[in-house]
Structure 1
Amino acid sequence: MTTPPTPGIDPSVPPSGDGCADCDQAGGWWLHLRRCASCGHIGCCDSSPAQHASAHAAATGHDVIRSYEPGEDWYWNYRTESYVEDGPDLAPPLSHPATQPTPGPADRVPQGWRSQLH
């Protein structure tokens, strides 16, 4: 018996990269990373200065994200403002490389970065 698909989650889509796609394009930095469970877009968390993950959800209607941090496996639904229980395994990798610093990337994190968090 197969498990029915979870709305808003496509387990076959790989992540867009190792870091926030939008911060990388703009030369920014992030605190933590989130992965769109629909399309694999990697965005920065709502504590990060640019909050790209929630901006992506608002712009696309892709409401469900998964943490992209090593050792974390939770899902969040922006529309319902609740955790998604029992989300499926996604295509690997499941997190950014463990060697990648938090915040990151190291060469773009400014001094006094804590004061820029939300």
Structure 2
Amino acid sequence: MSCQHLDALNAENLISKANYPVFRCEACITMNSRWVHLRICQTCGKMLCCDSSPNQHARQHYEETGHPVMSSAELGEEWLWCFVDQQKKNY
């Protein structure tokens, strides 16, 4: 099954994790909470916590903004996730 959101992105046009000097979920910091893994919104560049984290800020961000694709911000991981189509793609 194809996903237009993922197909529109490739390694050359991604918001890179190299752009971030500090890896953290600002929403979790504000709440004095912890996160499990981090994601980067490929529409606006916001770094957020994953669905395994207690607050699921990446999912909340998608639900509030409609920004469809997140990438993993974890070192050594190179994949994208589309909330709309529930699909993952490696890059």
Deviation (angstroms), 1:85: 5.4
When normalised by structure 2's length, the TM-score is 0.75
Match of 1:72 in 2: 77
Q: Which has the higher contact order (CA 8 A, sep 6+)?
A: 1
When normalised by structure 1's length, the TM-score is 0.59
Deviation (angstroms), 1:84: 3.4
Aligned residues: 80
Distance 1:12 1:42, change over 3 A: closer
Q: Which amino acid aligns with 2:58?
A: A
Match of 1:11 in 2: 14
SS at match of 2:35: coil
Deviation (angstroms), 1:46: 0.5
Distance 1:62 1:17 in 2: 22
| Aligned-residue RMSD, C-alpha | 2.3
Match of 1:89 in 2: none
Distance 1:74 1:32, change over 3 A: same
Distance 1:41 1:53 in 2: 9
Tell me which of 11, 33, 36 is aligned to 1:31. 36
Query: Identity rate of aligned residues, in percent?
Result: 36
Cα deviation 1:56-107 (Å, max 9, x = unaligned): 0110010100000010010000010001354xxxxxxxxxxxxxxxxxxxxx
Q: Which runs of 5+ in 1 are unaligned?
A: 87-118
Q: Which runs of 5+ in 2 are unaligned?
A: 1-6
Deviation (angstroms), 1:26: 1.3
| 1:1-118 aligned within 5 A | 6=8, 11=14, 14=19, 17-84=22-89, 86=91
